[in-house]
Amino acid sequence: MAISTNSDVKVPDSRSLGIDDAYGPFINGAFQPVRGDTLDAVAPATGDLLSKISRGDAQDIDEAVAAASAAFPAWRALSYEERSALLIRFADALTENAERLAAIDALDTGRRLFETRLDYQLAASQYRYFAGAVLTHEGMGRPMPGGYMIAKREPLGVCGQIIPWNVPAIMTSFKLAPALAAGNTVVLKPDENASISTMEAAKLAAEIFPAGVINVVPGRGAEAGAALTAHPDVDKLAFTGSTEVGRLVGTAAAKRLIPATLELGGKSPNIVFPDIDDVDAVADNVLYGAMWHNGQVCFGGTRVFVHDDIYDRFMPRLIERAESLTVGGPFDDTARLTCLVSEKQATRVLGYIDIGKNEGAKLLTGGERVTVEGNEQGYFIQPTIFEATNDMRIAQEEIFGPVICVIRWNDVETLVQEANDTQFGLAAGIYTRDLKNAMDTADRLQAGSVWINSYANLVPGLPFGGYKDSGLGREFSHEALNMYSQLKAVAVQYEVGAPWFSQTYNG
């Protein structure tokens, strides 16, 4: 592993990026005054204060839900074509502002600018995808004796949505795009660790969408988030985050008998078969699957199963590539890994590294915090690889950092059993030249997404979501429109039939 010594890095000033000194909640098409307590938005790499964020409370949520409820009838009455056109305008606005917004996210989350730029490409594609998909979001119909049956799709109403801090642009698009396309209005709570770009996107939304259609209330999960999930006028909940909090959101939905979409944690297997021919290419893709976003990604392929027959060839290449990764600041073009989002998250990751050592896992490389010049406040952690067994905590629990657990295997039955032996089921990867082998294995894996020969192959329109404790429902695809709508059945009889029920009637 190399630590960047690049002295030519230019870090933008927060004011030059148009970051406001403070952000109140965005309700009914306008930012409200900041009242009460605020939260500090701090650049994790440098410790610089970027802005003050309103600490949303139950009153803010009440006002936002009221605005969304008032806007719902007119919004749902728009044609699919009208809503589609507005989503495309919003995608265009995000694209036009992508460089500035990507730089804001790099400051606010500590991730490298190269990655956050890609986030906005994916986010814009989501709005464009659902702008098109909604045009074919049709019900069904068929003749019946003496009439016709119609099943029509209708929006649910006000959707309460909560997103995490790791990829704000993508998470916002995953939630807003299908909900708005289907005709719902939204109250969105961004994470307190990364709210700025979402608040800035709300400025763009104010120029495009009717007031009240999109409302954004920042704050803490235990305060604004809890008020949103418990609100009696919210008709649908959607959450991305930890399994523990997902259970709370799901329980709140169940108590009120409203639908919930939950995209939760993961501990995904990434399986290397012995017939691969390009060891370097596979090692590189495995490393990408686990280290992208500094390992702070729910679907990361952090359990790497390597067959005995190729282990001694594969592992030196994987370790060599991991040690070649440059660690640097978020605006350093030479960096491949940057800092974690907060001291709290870094403490968690370093704690798991200690757990791995203590439970007997073999540390093959990394495992330490490093200091990057000019970013001394940041928690930079070396790319870390353990040789482990599947029953160890580091192989079972989500770490959310740049840590890989490599597990040897030599029997397909045992491999499948161990790959599935986890509470999670979000994603999985397979590397092999044998297509039948790949498909047979994919069919047996308990995972919502299986990527063959290219990890994290996120293609718009391909459903994304998990099995088991990784959540409920699907995003990223036409199926998401179904999650944000409900079916109404209408049976049309052409005329009233002859009397038959009250045969004794003598009138």
Cα–Cα distance list, 82 to 47, 103, 132, 134 (Å): 44, 32, 11, 11
Domain 269-452 classified CATH 3.30.1370.60? no
> In a 10 Å sphere around its CB, with 0-12 CB exposed, 13-18 middle and 19+ buried, how is residue 505 labelled?
exposed
Which of 326, 343, 345 shows the shortest CA–CA distance to 377? Answer: 343
Token pair for 303: 């359990």
Tokens 């482990």 identify what position? 388
Q: Is the pLDDT of residue 134 over 90?
A: yes
Range with the poorest average pLDDT among 134-138, 279-283, 355-359, 499-503 = 499-503
CATH number of the structural domain 14-264+470-489 = 3.40.605.10
The confidence score (pLDDT) of residue 347 equals: 97
Mean pLDDT taken over the chain: 96
Active site residues: 263, 298
Question: What are residue 148's DSSP bridge partners?
Answer: 143, 492
Residues across the chain: 507
Residue pLDDT, tens place only, 140-156: 899 989 999 999 999 99
The phi, psi pair for 33, rounded to 5°, reads: -60, 145
Q: Two tokens at 494?
A: 């052409």
pLDDT in tens, 380-421: 999 999 999 999 999 999 999 999 999 999 999 999 999 999
Domain ranges of the chain: 14-264+470-489, 269-452
pTM of the model: 0.95
Give the pLDDT of residue 506: 65
Whole-number Å distance between alpha carbons of 299 and 308: 25
Indicate the burial class of 493 (C-beta count within 10 angstroms; 0-12, 13-18, 19 or more): exposed
pLDDT confidence of residue 467: 98
pLDDT tens digits for 3-51?
Answer: 877 778 889 988 899 999 999 999 999 999 998 899 999 999 999 999 9
* Amino acid present at 159: C
| Among 211, 185, 215, residue whose Cα is nearest residue 201 | 215
CA 60 to chain CA mean position, Å: 25
Check pLDDT > 70 for residue 316. yes
* Nearest by Cα to 191 from 384, 341, 29: 341
The three-point CA angle 173-177-178 to 5° equals 125
